[in-house]
Chains A and B, each alone.
Chain A
């Protein structure tokens, strides 16, 4: 579990560039959840996730991971980073290894894993991301397609066996098929018990997979609750400066007409319901 207690972050303190990235934010990420962090550019969402594994320290407040104060003097950040894996935006831009195997093995090797266990972990992570480990291991990661590169990059975090995977815009730049594939693999990770946190401005994805939404605006948390409440109880999407997808607008309309209209995550689910019960 990750807990933030009244955390504030200010960049460039004491200079004319001083800017507050986070203002007294408290939140919890509970085990097994899929949480989406949303907001426009500059809302503080990327700063937020860098706190989760101690990549940056807060100026005030506490970050607690499984009871450990991440920023306490005697905390070994390696332990935190084994618990919380961070996947940056466009992670494939940081590829360096000559083979897919070495790329994915880098993290666990750094943690002292070797031999059979290393091979097992790499293979496990690659198959979790939809690859046949035998055929892909010896390829150069640079020769893969955009969608495959992204999945190798995520596999390299999975191979470190974190309890929580935090992803910054995981589907950014991917086309429909690659997005769909990645989302289904991530859902499968979650079904196996992995906690997922993903930062996005794509509201369709939030609607489709998130259990809970945390919405940020100008460094402040303006919403923290179920995905259904985020979209349908008030106008938090608009408050966060985001655009409600058509499917949300359509459901809002039907909810006005039928007070018990169920929550639909996809357009197919929505149309099926319309056909069967409301036409």
Chain B
């Protein structure tokens, strides 16, 4: 389990980037962290894998305090950032994914198997010998995700991984990650400012100015239009239409799909 216990963090003195933050993520759970730019989301990501350490309070991963052994945290928590270009180290996709495994001293045969398996699963197998820089934004991001998944972390932090993608690739990446993770036992913190994306997610943590504003399912989070507006997060069009039609519907906001709504219009 990842556990934030009254966590405070400041880059500058007395200016809290994260303030009194409490939350838990169990293995196998997919939790979204939703907030506008500057809400503290990326700081929270870096606190989760020990890149940053709290000034006050504690971050525990499977009972290990990040202050005691940040390096163990790094091996338990995989992280993918917004811009895949910043994360490539290999000259080919294969090398890039294998690099992380070599660092973990994984035996070559096993490394090979993992690279093969994960690239098949993510649909990037045919790019194994290509240079990551030649790929499209969505494919690059798949390579970055593959690199982290191949290391078989217990937890995954995905920090705005779709923010720079076009809407078509954005949906594709989200659905892919959501399905893969649901099949596995990885605990995920999915960080985003795009509210449409998190509709299917069962637990959403809404943050603003480094503080947790609200935590709950999409129904609870999105019903308060005024609150969302005040923290700079949009209410998805699809949710607004859902709320309008709600009485005629027998689905929850998690199961919401475009086709269900369109059939009711």
Contact = CB atoms under 8 A, between A and B. Distances in A.
Contacts of B173: none
Interface in A136-195: 145-147, 172-178
A40 interface: yes
Interface string B65-97: 000000000000000000000000000000000
What is the size category of the interface that chain B forms with chain A? Answer: 20 to 34
A247 B242 CA distance: 12
Given A176-B232, A250-B241, A146 B136 contact: no
A276 interface: no
Contacts of B237: 204, 245-247, 267
Contact of B233 (A146, A176, A241, A268): A176
B241 A176 contact: no
A176 B261 contact: no
A208 B240 CA distance: 17
Contacts of B244: 271, 274-275
B241 A271 contact: yes
Given A247-B237, A271-B241, A173 B163 contact: yes
B14 interface: no
Contact of B265 (A178, A250, A275): A250
B166 A175 contact: no
Contacts, number: 66
A200 to B, nearest CB: 9
B134 interface: no
Contact of A243 (B37, B38, B168, B240): B168
A245 B196 CA distance: 11
A201 B241 contact: no
B167 A201 contact: yes
B195 interface: yes
A253 B37 CA distance: 35
Contacts of A173: 163-164
Nearest to A181: B232
A119 interface: no
Contacts of B167: 201-203, 242-243
A249 interface: yes
Given A175-B193, A243-B171, A268 B166 contact: no
Interface in A54-83: none
Contacts of A239: none
B234 interface: yes
A267 B240 CA distance: 8
Given A173-B164, A175-B37, A176-B195, A250 B261 contact: yes
A13 interface: no
Give the interface centre of A178, A204, A267 by most chain B CB atoms within 10 Å.
A267
B171 A172 contact: no
Contacts of A267: 237, 240-241
Interface in B220-234: 232-234
B166 A271 contact: no
Given A172-B164, A174-B37, A253-B262, A268 B193 contact: no
A243 B136 CA distance: 18
A175 B232 contact: yes
Contact of A145 (B38, B193, B262, B265): B38
Interchain residue pairs A-B with the least CB separation, the first 10: A177-B232, A267-B237, A176-B234, A175-B193, A201-B166, A175-B37, A175-B36, A246-B238, A253-B265, A247-B237
14 contacts: A145-B37, A145-B38, A172-B164, A175-B37, A175-B233, A176-B36, A243-B171, A246-B238, A246-B241, A246-B261, A253-B262, A267-B237, A267-B240, A275-B244
